A and B are shown apart, each in its own frame.
Chain A
Amino acid sequence: MYRLEHLSKVFPDGTVAVDDITLCFKPGERVAVIGPSGAGKTTLVRLLNATLRPTAGRLQFGDEDITGLSGRRLRQLRRRIGTVYQQHNLVPQLRVVHNVLVVRLGRWSLAKALWSLISPRDRDVALAALEQVGIAEKLYARTAHLSGGQQQRVAIARVLVQDPDVILADEPVSSVDPTLGRTIVQLLVHLAKAGHKTLVANLHAVALALEYFPRVIGFRGSRVMFDLPSEAVTEQILAGLYAGVETNPFVAEYP
């Protein structure tokens, strides 16, 4: 699905966020990326979903080299990649139905997109997606009125409507409580499995990563520290990954 060759991202202020990474993600694979905060995990997601341009190296999606794309072809490629963010990134002022359907707008005419704000088109599609994440009754609720967990479900429903080949998740459970976090990760994994989608998730909660993802990548100092099947990740390896980090998520129990 993805092929990263010597991929690097250096920000204009000189910060090296991703440093010479070579990786490969197979279609349908579920990968968790763990590591201390500030390791460059978020930047990696933004490189993978073509929001940021790598400063060096190659990034291949399917058979296509993303790094050279622009304009319409870039937009078409982005439609095949869905992202769930830590802060949900929904528009709080809009109703849930609009936040979910917004990803379909690229396929609609402008008139239809505008009219949909008044009288939602493809309501059933939105409803079906919300049913899958378990909050169908919130279809017409104002997004700002939902709780954090509910908003994250809406964000996942949005990705479902988008129906991408890959789902990227950037700390999807950091802003909700642990019990809810587990449910959300379960939901993501379930949906990825059911839709045969590749799932790459940055996770702060190591326990969840080891439990639900067959492959775990340890990220530290903008580089890959290890890339192992989850069975092979030992406490020693984890201790090395989080060495010197004050809040060690490895110790934090996950219910």
Chain B
Amino acid sequence: MTRRDSPVNAWNAWPALDTPRWRPSTLLAILLVGGLLAGSWHVAQVEPSLLFGEQGRRHVWAFVTGLFPPDVSPAFLALLMIPTIETLQIALMGTVLAIMLGFPLALLATDRLCFTGILYEMERDSPRWRPVARKAIYLTARLLLNLCRSIPDVVWALMFVRVVGLGPFPGVLAIGVSYGGMLGKIYAEILENSPEGPIEALHAMGAGKVVLLVYAFLPQMFANMVSYSLYRWECAIRSAAILGLVGAGGLGQQIEISMRMFQYQETSTILLIVFVLVTGVDHLSAMIRRAL
């Protein structure tokens, strides 16, 4: 076989194709993104010299060496024990609260359960206000969920500290509300994707909404929902460790204190504990998810 009739050369037999050209829209997009980046650099006051300049390097060095060695004296570890447990429990209670808040809202925010699709196919003749009311409830639930999760948990914590005072409880509330919004949104999406067949079958046999929910929607999607809730619980541990910075208890409070006192060795110990906690929960939830 000569080189000429090798499959690659067979391309030559094809009609000449136009070389792709830059379309004006592509050029415009590149210019826009470039401009955006340049603008952000300027507005966000990105100043590498602060990090890498002579003085910057000295600060970085001082801070990094300050972190070592981590303070593992028994006295300090004993001091951290309570905040560590507190962090875990803030995360746990916060996630429970989030589920309690997110789940009912998710049901109202699931369109197939609420106002459309096969469940409402025959109901179109019912009084006109009913479908309107249903849709209004659905939209309100969506709005609430969006509101809860668009405000960051730290901001929620700041607000709750004002309302219920310092301590772990505002942390629980903050995680509950912001994670409730996230869980609710995802639960609704999961429920909307539950396979239609069994739902149609039960519906056609005269099952009501609650039966449909408990015997068709939930069993089909339960594993997904648990899995996502576990993932959120992992995130909640991280959040719980940070919320203390604004006075909502847990390890965050200790981080804040040690930083204010320039006790970086203590800071590094706390960071290590956070790392161990997050990794541990990571493995635990992975194990549970595998078992599901």
Residues of A at under 8 Å CB distance from B?
46, 49-53, 68-71, 74-79, 81-83, 85, 87-94, 98, 102-103, 105-106, 110, 113-114, 117, 155, 158, 162
**B260 near A: Cβ within 8 Å?**
no
Check B215 against A105 for contact (C-beta < 8 Å): yes
Check B201 against A83 for contact (C-beta < 8 Å): yes
Could you tell me the distance in whole angstroms from the C-beta of B125 to the nearest C-beta in chain A? 6
Check B210 against A78 for contact (C-beta < 8 Å): no
Check A51 against B118 for contact (C-beta < 8 Å): yes
Check B205 against A91 for contact (C-beta < 8 Å): no
Check A103 against B121 for contact (C-beta < 8 Å): no
The digit string for B192-207, where 1 denotes a CB below 8 A from any CB of A, is: 0000011011111111
Check B201 against A85 for contact (C-beta < 8 Å): yes
A105 touches which of B118, B197, B198, B207 (Cβ 8 Å): B207
A51 touches which of B125, B204, B208 (Cβ 8 Å): B204
Interface residues of B in 179-219 (CB under 8 A from A): 197-198, 200-208, 210-211, 214-216, 219
- Residue of B whose beta carbon sits closest to that of A113: B211
Write out the residue numbers on chain B whose beta carbons fall within 8 Å of the beta carbon of A75. Answer: 206-208
**B275 near A: Cβ within 8 Å?**
no
Check A89 against B198 for contact (C-beta < 8 Å): yes
- Residue of B whose beta carbon sits closest to that of A82: B205
List 7 A–B pairs whose Cβ atoms lie within 8 Å, in order of A's numbering: A91-B198, A102-B205, A103-B207, A106-B207, A110-B210, A113-B214, A155-B201
Interface residues of B in 213-254 (CB under 8 A from A): 214-216, 219-220, 222-223
Write out the residue numbers on chain B whose beta carbons fall within 8 Å of the beta carbon of A50. Answer: 122, 204
Interface residues of B in 81-110 (CB under 8 A from A): none
- Residue of A whose beta carbon sits closest to that of B221: A93
Given contacts A51-B200, A89-B198, A94-B219, contact A83 B205 (CB under 8 A): yes
Write out the residue numbers on chain A whose beta carbons fall within 8 Å of the beta carbon of B198. Answer: 89-91
* Measured CA separation A162–B202 after assembly (Å): 11
> In terms of DSSP, what is the predominant structure of the interface of chain B?
helix
**B128 near A: Cβ within 8 Å?**
no
Write out the residue numbers on chain B whose beta carbons fall within 8 Å of the beta carbon of A87. Answer: 197
Residues of B at under 8 Å CB distance from A?
118, 121-126, 197-198, 200-208, 210-211, 214-216, 219-220, 222-223
Check B121 against A51 for contact (C-beta < 8 Å): yes
Given contacts A70-B126, A77-B206, contact A91 B211 (CB under 8 A): no
- Residue of A whose beta carbon sits closest to that of B223: A93
* Measured CA separation A70–B208 after assembly (Å): 12
Write out the residue numbers on chain B whose beta carbons fall within 8 Å of the beta carbon of A81. Answer: 204-205
Identify the 9 closest CB pairs spanning chains A and B, nearest first. Answer: A78-B206, A89-B201, A79-B206, A89-B197, A75-B206, A105-B211, A93-B219, A91-B198, A49-B204
* Measured CA separation A78–B200 after assembly (Å): 12
- Residue of A whose beta carbon sits closest to that of B222: A93
Check B200 against A162 for contact (C-beta < 8 Å): no
Could you tell me the distance in whole angstroms from the C-beta of A144 to the nearest C-beta in chain B? 11
Write out the residue numbers on chain A whose beta carbons fall within 8 Å of the beta carbon of B125. Answer: 68, 70
Write out the residue numbers on chain B whose beta carbons fall within 8 Å of the beta carbon of A94. Answer: 215, 219
Check A162 against B122 for contact (C-beta < 8 Å): no
Write out the residue numbers on chain A whose beta carbons fall within 8 Å of the beta carbon of B118. Answer: 51
* Measured CA separation A93–B216 after assembly (Å): 9
Check A113 against B204 for contact (C-beta < 8 Å): no
A91 touches which of B121, B126, B204, B219 (Cβ 8 Å): B219
- Residue of B whose beta carbon sits closest to that of A93: B219
Write out the residue numbers on chain A whose beta carbons fall within 8 Å of the beta carbon of B202. Answer: 102-103
Check A113 against B210 for contact (C-beta < 8 Å): yes
Check B122 against A74 for contact (C-beta < 8 Å): yes
Check A85 against B205 for contact (C-beta < 8 Å): no
Could you tell me the distance in whole angstroms from the C-beta of B225 to the nearest C-beta in chain A? 12
- Residue of A whose beta carbon sits closest to that of B199: A89
Check A98 against B215 for contact (C-beta < 8 Å): yes
* Measured CA separation A176–B277 after assembly (Å): 51
B220 touches which of A78, A91, A158, A162 (Cβ 8 Å): A91
* Measured CA separation A102–B123 after assembly (Å): 23
Check B126 against A71 for contact (C-beta < 8 Å): yes
